[in-house]
Amino acid sequence: MQWRRRHCCTHIAGLLYLLSLLGVLVFLVHQEWLPGLTGMPWRRGHPVVYGGGGLHSTKAKGNLSSQHSLWRFVIVPQPSLKTDTNISFYQEDNDSFPQEETGLENSLAANTTQNEEGGLNSKLTQGPYPYIINEPDKCAEGKPAPFLVLLIATEARQVEARNAIRQTWGNESVAPGLGFIRLFLLGTNEGELGHLQQRMLEAESRRHHDIIQQDFLDAYKNLTIKTLMGMNWVAIHCQQASYVMKTDSDMFVNTEYLIYKLLRPELKAKKNFFTGNNMRGFAPNRNKNSKWYMSPELYPSEKYPTFCSGTGYVFSGDLAWKIYRASLSIRRLHLEDVYVGICLAKLRIEPTPPPNEFLFNHWRVSYSSCKYSHLITSHGFHPSELLKYWHHLQINKHNACINSFKDKMGWLHTNRMNGEKPV
């Protein structure tokens, strides 16, 4: 009898031990793959805009807990060119503002104007800027309808970044059997260096056939024009595309997770669908010393409509035509992601929150194969880092979290052996 009691107690103790180990495993894996718990705080590294009752600032602080209620943030792509000369959007759409509606609609009406392409019912053309490089046959008849079109904002000098994207998340092998199109969006540069870059860019285009370029100055404040060029291209040359993603050349994009987990090719393609890192209830930056300054004359409302961070957003193919058409009657703003949000508000389309708030990240998430197998975007990658982490993820993607757990347990064991306390 005593032997049976001891045997039973031994089994119970063993079971409790296994359950405790399982609990530790679940906790560590949970901590590991949620980017928001271990990545860079979303506030850091982005411009601050006034949200009411406080001071202005153009820099985000590392610790803003005491001021959290005073600040709002607007996330926009980081500038890479300093010049503000020949900014084409300042030269357009200078008509007077009609006043027809109230609230947010009043702000939209205040931004409403007509340009040389006509109103909402006009037939789309290629836009006010002629193509220098175009790929009109990427979606030609007879080819499979593309499931996803990638529109990647880049600059002529970023050759290394484009080559890294072609080898990693922009490679067609990511989605074998599905229509998958990659396009880099560019403007032009001036001077002797600009002419040299142009010749190199044209040679690159002849080799890869994945570049479109129009004759506008490739400057930070023309990102809106660059994005509209991509949407216009889809609307004219690739209307059958199921989905489109706009992103930047310094991003890590888990296109496989985006396609097979979020968009899901086995389902009927959605319509009027727009998602990304949703920015809701954010206010314009009224600090005139900030490069993200938005004047009351350009945008009189105290709040932006909901928009998605320009570092990476996804939308259904039908919206390319609708957004570009809406833009024909809305004054151009230099904040590209805000401007697209205004176009959506004009269409009365609200961006859909992603199923997981950590899928789209406009900051850089610290790398682990576990976290990166469960996110879609991470920001701020050098081409060599992109190659390194992409290939590591491909090797480990089928057991990414198990391998990360093993690595963490091995690290903890080594620290204990060395007498170090775990961080």
If pLDDT is split at 50, 70 and 90, which confidence band does 300 have? very high
Per-residue pLDDT band for 166 (boundaries 50, 70, 90) equals very high
DSSP state of 91: G
Contact at 8 Å (CB) between 384 and 392? no
Higher pLDDT, 119 or 331: 331
Rg over CA atoms, the chain: 24
pTM of the model: 0.75
- Residue 124 has a pLDDT of 80
What's the pLDDT at 350? 97
| Angle, helices 159-167/191-208, rounded to nearest 10 degrees | 20
Give the whole-angstrom CA distance, residue 164 versus residue 82.
25
CA angle 178, 179, 183 (to 5 degrees): 135
Cα 415 from Cα 417, distance rounded (Å): 5
CA-CA distances (angstroms) from residue 420 to 9, 21, 413?
35, 22, 10
What pLDDT is attached to residue 17? 65
Question: Distance between CA 59 and CA 51 in Å, rounded?
Answer: 15
The alpha carbon torsion through 116, 117, 118, 123 (nearest 10 deg) reads 160
pLDDT at 22 (0 to 100): 64
Cβ pair 163, 259 in contact under 8 A: no
β partners of residue 293:
285
> Are 375 and 257 spatial neighbours (Cβ–Cβ below 8 Å)?
yes
Task: Find the length of the chain.
Answer: 423
Amino acid 88: pLDDT: 39
Integer Cα distance of 346 and 241 in angstroms: 23
Q: What is the DSSP letter of 249?
A: T
The owner of tokens 């031990």 is 17
38 or 181, higher pLDDT: 181
Report yes or no: 262 and 148 within 8 Å, Cβ to Cβ: no
For 250-272, what is the mean pLDDT? 96
Closest CA to 158 of 129, 200, 192, 190: 200
**Per-residue pLDDT tens digits for 325-349:** 999 999 999 999 999 999 999 999 9
C-beta neighbour count of 41 within 10 angstroms:
12
Confidence of residue 106 (pLDDT cuts 50, 70, 90): low
Q: What is the pLDDT of residue 58?
A: 36
Residue among 235, 247, 215, 221 nearest 328 (CA) = 235
- What pLDDT digit, counting tens, does each position of 192-232 carry? 999 999 999 999 999 999 999 999 999 999 999 999 999 99
Task: Calculate mean pLDDT across residues 134-150.
Answer: 91
Q: What pLDDT, on the 0 to 100 scale, is given for residue 176?
A: 86
**CA 248/CA 151 separation, integer angstroms:** 8
The torsion defined by the Cα of 61, 63, 67 and 69, in degrees rounded to 10, comes to 100
Residue 213 dihedral angles phi and psi, to the nearest 5° = -145, 135
Say how far apart CA 239 and CA 319 lie, in whole Å.
10
Q: Please give the pLDDT value at position 219.
A: 95
CB atoms within 10 A of CB 4: 8
Rounded to 5°, the CA angle 52-54-56 comes to 100
Q: What is the pLDDT of residues 24-82, one digit of tens each?
A: 555 554 444 445 444 444 334 444 343 433 333 333 333 333 333 222 333 333 333 33
In this predicted structure, the answer to whether residue 107 has a pLDDT above a threshold of 50 is: yes
Instruction: Quote the pLDDT of residue 108.
Output: 61
Q: What confidence score (pLDDT) does residue 25 get?
A: 55
Taking alpha carbons only, the member of 353, 354, 162, 168 closest to residue 252 is: 168
**Residue 335, both tokens:** 């904040």
Cα dist from 385 to 128, 252, 389, 420, whole Å: 38, 9, 6, 30
What CATH number should be reported for the domain whose range is 88-278+299-346? Answer: 3.90.550
3-state helix, strand, coil in the chain (%, to 5): 40, 15, 45
